[in-house]
Structure 1
Amino acid sequence: MGAPQGCVLSPLLFTLLTHDCVTRYECNRIIKFADDSTVIGLVRNGMETASRSEVEHLLGWYDSNNLALNVSKAKELIVDFRISEGAHQPLEIKGVAIIFYEDRDFQGHHYECYSDCGNLQSYVSRCNSIRIDSGCWIIYEHPNYTGYQYFLTKGEYRDYQSWMGFNEKVRSCRMIPTVSTLPYRGSYRVRVYERPEFGGQMMEFTDDCPSVHDRFHYQDIHSCNVLEGYWLFYEHPNYRGRQYFLRPGEYRRYNEWGALTSRIGSFRLIMDCY
């Protein structure tokens, strides 16, 4: 869809095209112009995760709408009001990629993904091998981040057995923002509860837990509150079985983190993945 320059329909068409180009974090803003859009991010306590992840999210929107970002004209402006200037790692656009291949050993049709994608079926019909340039990713068996979850780090996966998959179905993926371009350096805190809706016994953790039963004295976690950091829950002790990725937020029932039952045997924090 297009219109001549200066056409009265141009503003309306542009608004319709970009209506779903919105921020995913409340601390960020996107100012949209036809050829000069801007992402504004507020950084607190040195944490740049939200602003950097917003850029990756915007790149994903470009890809989904068959648009291309002119990286050579993209600029990063930093406004720092601190008395002493802190260290800053330059933003790397399209620096983290996961590549999905339809056949084993990185053969056949492939698709490069740079941000979260809720439905990969538009790009690959199946997935038998994966290559990750850098960072951490969660891949899902079904669209919209559902089904079996698999935590992957930088490396090459020549067949689906190498990521402990059951079949060639990979329908969605999520990039872990903590390592999009800057490793997470903050603290980790999660509260687990014996019952749904944050009821029953509660215990707060700040480190890895190889056995939930040994430390929490229960074999089931019905709800939890991730206060800080990113975590992986496992179905069995010693980090075995089905995996569940949890971002900061409240999970009132176990199905909200993708589980079919409340059984959690262990969990650990997601650290640097480079």
Structure 2
Amino acid sequence: MDCWSSAGSSFRETSPCFDLGARLSWGCLLPKNLQHWSEGSLALEEGLRLQGMAGGAQLGRDGVKTFAQITSTIITLYEGRCFTGRKLDICGSCNSFQDQGFLNRVNSICVQSGAWVCFDHPDFRGQQYILEHGEYPDFYRWNGRSDHLGSCRPIGMHGEHYRIEIFEGSHFRGPSMELTEDCSFLQGQGWDKTCINALKVYGDGAWVLYEEPNYRGRMYVVERGEFSSFNEWQARSASVQSIRRVVNYF
């Protein structure tokens, strides 16, 4: 999967005019001089095409989106604390920071837009950290235990309707409960177990599962779909005691 990144300059310093052709990848515009693209237009998912113009963009099928909306998922990683040292700008999934010429040591992060899940190993493996729009001057701010990160991807935002159903047993068996709001302590809401073995995300938004109450401990992001066992959200166990929505994208 494509992503555009630079260890030297910020994405925001890129020229705002892409009328010679560009490519859209996970909300990211790539200037034509980076790759060989057709002039005058931008190929989008499922055959949708975009005329690249400075100051705005016209979608041919689903109406109009502004240029800012199209370039809406950007994260910047810094080697040093408080946004110092070498940096890496990313828009779109990046399965290895090291392959982009950036060491796996990350001590501060600025999420310019979008919501992201970072992993402490390449290829989207290992412990997950959810970062929403804002600044994180040290790794403690994203509940990290060290400065080691290896990959990241944006969290999809499908809409504003949140609904999740959790199940006591795997494969959607046993007692279940639906949630539409954040819950800092599931047992306080009548869920008499400290574990969830399956779940279904019906709504449009993403959720974060935490192993401990009050949004602490290991965390796992789940987006729209069905998860028949805890292995499917890459958890080590079925332990989940608090849940919240991912809401701060911008």
Residue equivalent to 2:119: 140
Distance 2:28 2:209 in 1: 29
Matching of residue 248 in structure 1 with residue 224 in structure 2? yes
**Which of 180, 183, 188 does residue 162 from structure 2 map onto?**
188
Q: State the Cα deviation string for residues 112-164 of structure 1 (Å, max 9, x = none).
A: 00112222221211212211212221111112222121121222222222222
Counterpart of 1:97, as a letter, is I
Residue equivalent to 1:104: 81
Residue equivalent to 1:223: 198
Deviation at 1:251, TM superposition (A): 1.0
Q: State the Cα deviation string for residues 39-74 of structure 1 (Å, max 9, x = none).
A: xxxxxxxxxxxxxxxx442749x69xx538889935
Q: How many residues align?
A: 212
Q: Secondary structure at the match of 1:235?
A: strand
Which of these two proteins has the greater Rg computed from alpha carbons?
A: 1
**What is the root-mean-square deviation of aligned Cα atoms in Å?**
2.9
Deviation at 1:192, TM superposition (A): 0.9
Q: Structure 1 runs of 4+ off > 4 angstroms? A: 35-38, 68-72
Counterpart of 1:196, as a letter, is S
Counterpart of 1:202, as a letter, is S
TM-score (normalised: structure 2): 0.73
TM-score (normalised: structure 1): 0.67
Distance 1:244 1:91 in 2: 31
State the percentage of identical aligned residues: 31
Which has a greater percent of strand? 2
Contact map agreement 2:162 2:245 (CA 8 A) in 1 = yes
Q: State the Cα deviation string for residues 143-189 of structure 1 (Å, max 9, x = none).
A: 222212112122222222222211111111121221xxxxx643211
Matching of residue 267 in structure 1 with residue 249 in structure 2? no
Structure 2 unaligned segments of length 5 or more: list them.
Answer: 3-19, 43-50
Residue equivalent to 1:77: 59
Q: Secondary structure at the match of 2:77?
A: strand
Distance 2:180 2:161 in 1: 8
Deviation at 1:99, TM superposition (A): 0.7
Distance 1:239 1:115 in 2: 26
Counterpart of 1:201, as a letter, is P
Distance 1:231 1:132 in 2: 18
Contact map agreement 1:237 1:266 (CA 8 A) in 2 = yes
Structure 1 unaligned segments of length 5 or more: list them.
Answer: 1-19, 22-34, 39-54, 81-85, 179-183
Which has a greater percent of helix? 1
Q: Secondary structure at the match of 2:129?
A: strand
Matching of residue 57 in structure 1 with residue 26 in structure 2? yes
